[in-house]
């Protein structure tokens, strides 16, 4: 028997002011996107801004539904929107934020497991890592340099049957 340890690394920015101009712009766009979320059931407004390798920036937010599982997170709404607008263009950087109307979020909001899985496939398809920045309403901002750092031991298409026959 062997036991393995998996390490992950993330960068912590003390505040928004420490971010690059580009990242501040993306965070502002993500905040604006959060304000347009359709989150009448949870009241949790999530926004994302995604920079593509071709320079395009797409934003999205969570879209809920009274049949709860039918809704979709901001990250996947944004990723699917980007991929449908610019198929095959790799993702460069994703910025995520959220608003909790009951208490100000002072810690960053990381993507849920399902979104990590989806982002991981876009990362593999894109051929290079996607930087992911996570922010709350105030306070620290966290950054990982790859979706891999959020989702080790990832399921991928390499496990599926080879259909090229």
| Interface residue with ligand THU, options 31, 33, 44, 133 (CB under 6 A) | 44
Distance of alpha carbon 86 from alpha carbon 159, whole angstroms: 27
Residue 115 engages ligand THU in binding (rule: CB under 6 A)? yes
Going by C-alpha positions, the residue among 89, 79, 38 that lies closest to residue 58 is: 79
137 binds ligand THU (CB under 6 A): no
Provide, rounded to whole angstroms, the least separation between the CB of residue 155 and ligand THU.
18
Q: Which two tokens stand for residue 162?
A: 């080879």
C-alpha pair distances (Å), 146 with each of 43, 67, 119, 123 = 29, 33, 10, 8
Q: Are 72 and 63 in contact (CB under 8 A)?
A: yes
Residues in contact with ligand THU, shown as a per-residue x/- string from 73 to 102 under the rule CB under 6 A? xxx---------------------------
Nearer to ligand THU, 63 or 148 (CB): 63
- As a whole number of angstroms, the distance between CA 35 and CA 68 comes to 20
Instruction: Name which of 53 and 139 has its Cβ closer to ligand THU.
Output: 139
Position among 26, 51, 58, 62 found at the interface with ligand THU (CB under 6 A): 62
Q: Point out the catalytic residue in the list 75, 121, 123, 140.
A: 75
Closest CA to 48 of 126, 109, 118: 109
Span near ligand THU by CB under 6 A; candidates 4-12, 36-44, 99-107, 145-153: 36-44
Stretches 4-12, 51-59, 69-77, 135-143: which one binds ligand THU (CB under 6 A)? 69-77
**Per the structure block, which two tokens stand in for 164?**
């090229």
- In three-state secondary structure terms, 69 is helix
At its nearest, how many Å lie between ligand THU and the CB of residue 64? 5
- Reading the block at residue 2, the tokens are 């062997």
Active site residue 75: yes
3 state SS of 130: coil
Instruction: Provide the annotated active-site residues.
Output: 75
Contact residues for ligand THU, defined by CB under 6 A:
39, 42, 44, 46, 62, 64, 71, 73-75, 111-112, 115
């Amino acid at each position: 028997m062997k036991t393995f340890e998996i390490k992950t690394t993330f960068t912590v920015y003390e505040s928004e002011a420490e971010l690059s101009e580009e990242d501040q712009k993306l965070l502002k766009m993500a905040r604006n996107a959060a304000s347009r979320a359709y989150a009448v059931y949870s009241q949790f407004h999530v926004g994302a801004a995604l920079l593509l390798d071709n320079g395009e920036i797409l934003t999205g937010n969570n879209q809920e539904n009274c049949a709860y599982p039918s809704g979709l997170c901001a990250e996947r709404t944004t990723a699917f929107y980007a991929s449908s607008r610019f198929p095959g263009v790799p993702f460069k950087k994703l910025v995520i934020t959220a608003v909790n109307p009951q208490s100000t979020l002072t810690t960053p909001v990381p993507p849920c497991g399902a979104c990590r899985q989806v982002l991981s496939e876009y990362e593999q398809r894109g051929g290079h890592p996607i930087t992911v920045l996570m922010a709350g309403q105030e306070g620290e901002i966290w950054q990982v340099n790859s979706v891999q750092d959020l989702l080790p031991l990832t399921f991928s298409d390499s496990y599926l049957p080879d259909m090229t026959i």
